[in-house]
Structure 1
Amino acid sequence: MTDTSRTNMVAEAFEAQRDRLRAVAYRVLGSHADAEDVVQEAWMRLARQDTATIDNLAGWLTTVVGRISLDVLRSRQARPEASYGEGFPGLVVTADDGAEPEEHVALADAVGLALLVVLDSLGPSERLAFVLHDLFAVPFAEIGQILGKSADTTKMIASRARRKVRATERPQTVTREQREVAEAFRAAAMNGDFEALLRVLDPEVRLTVDTPDGVVVALGATKVATGATTVSRHIARHQAVLVNGLPGYLSWREDGTPLSLISFTVTNARITAIAIVTDPAKLTSLHLPTPT
Structure 2
Amino acid sequence: MTDPVAEAFEAQRDRLRAVAHRMLGSHADAEDVVQEAWLRLVRQDAATIDNLAGWLTTVVGRLSLDVLRSRRARPESSYDDRLPELVVTVDDGPTPEDDVALADSVGLALLVVLDSLGPSERLAFVLHDLFAVPFDEIGRILGRSTDATKMLASRARAKVRAGERPAAVGREQREVVRAFLAAARLGDFEELLRVLDPEVRLTVDTPGGVVVVLGATEVAGGARSRSAGAVRGRAVLVDGLPGFLAWREDGTPLSVLAFTIGDGRITAIAAVADPVRLAAMDLPAMPG
TM-score, normalised to structure 1, is 0.56
Could you tell me how far 1:231 is from its partner in structure 2? 7.9
Following superposition, the deviation at residue 71 of structure 1 comes to 0.3
Structure 1 residues 259-278: Cα deviation after superposition (integer angstroms, max 9, x where no partner): xxx86759xxxxxx961336
2:116 to 100, 108, 121: 121
Q: Which residue of 2 aligns with 1:66?
A: 61
RMSD: 4.5
Secondary structure at the aligned position of 1:80 is classed as: coil
Q: Which residue of 2 aligns with 1:51?
A: 46
Which amino acid in the other structure matches residue 157 of structure 2? R
- Please identify which structure carries the higher helix content: 1
1:152 is matched with which residue: 131, 135, 147? Answer: 147
What is the aligned counterpart of 1:218 among 218, 223, 227? 227
C-alpha contact 2:78 2:208 (8 A) present in aligned 1: no
Following TM superposition, by how much is the alpha carbon of 1:57 offset from its aligned partner in structure 2, in angstroms? 1.2
CA distance 1:148–1:209, change in 2 (3 Å): closer
Deviation (angstroms), 1:29 = 0.8
CA pair 114-24 structure 1, distance change in 2 beyond 3 A? farther
Q: 1:16 aligns with which of 11, 14, 26?
A: 11
Aligned to 2:29: 34
Task: Quickly say closer, same or farther: Cα 1:116–1:20, change in 2 above 3 A.
Answer: farther
Tell me how far 1:145 sits from its aligned partner. Answer: 0.8
**Cα distance in 1 for residues equivalent to 2:250 and 2:165:** 30
Q: 1:264 to 1:137 in 2, by over 3 A?
A: same
Give the partner amino acid of 1:129.
A
8 Å Cα contact 1:25-1:39 kept in structure 2: yes
Q: Which residue of 2 aligns with 1:91?
A: 83
Q: Which residue of 1 aligns with 2:243?
A: none
Letter of the 1:31 counterpart:
S
Equivalent position of 2:133 in the other structure: 138
Distance in 2 separating the partners of 1:126 and 1:209: 25
Conserved 8 A contact 1:21-1:39: yes
Distance 1:156 1:25, change over 3 A: same
Give the C-alpha shift of residue 92 in structure 1.
3.2
- Aligned residues between the structures: 205
Relative to the length of structure 2, the TM-score reads 0.56
Structure 1 residues 13 and 228, CA, compared in 2 at 3 Å: closer, same or farther? farther
The question of whether the paired residues in 2 share the 8 Å contact of 1:31 and 1:91 is answered with no
Letter in 1 for 2:43: R
Equivalent position SS for 2:206: strand
Pair 1:39–1:118, CA change in 2 (3 A): same
**Shift of residue 43 of structure 1?**
1.1
Q: CA deviation at 1:117?
A: 2.3
Name 2:161's counterpart in structure 1: 166
SS in structure 2 opposite 1:168? helix
Q: State the Cα deviation string for residues 131-170 of structure 1 (Å, max 9, x = none).
A: 1001110000100110011111111111111122222364
Cα distance in 2 for partners of 1:113, 1:222 equals 25
1:11 and 1:21 map into 2 onto residues whose CA distance is 14
Q: How many percent identity over aligned positions? A: 63
Paired residues for 1:189-200 under 5 Å: none
CA distance in structure 2 between the partners assigned to 1:79 and 1:93 by the alignment:
26
Structure 1 portions without partners, runs of 5+:
96-103, 174-203, 233-261, 267-272, 284-292
The one of 73, 77, 80 aligned to 1:82: 77
Shift of 1:225: 2.9
Does structure 2 retain, via aligned residues, the 8 Å contact 1:27–1:116?
A: no
Deviation of 1:115 after TM superposition, in Å, equals 3.7
The SS at the match of 1:162 is helix
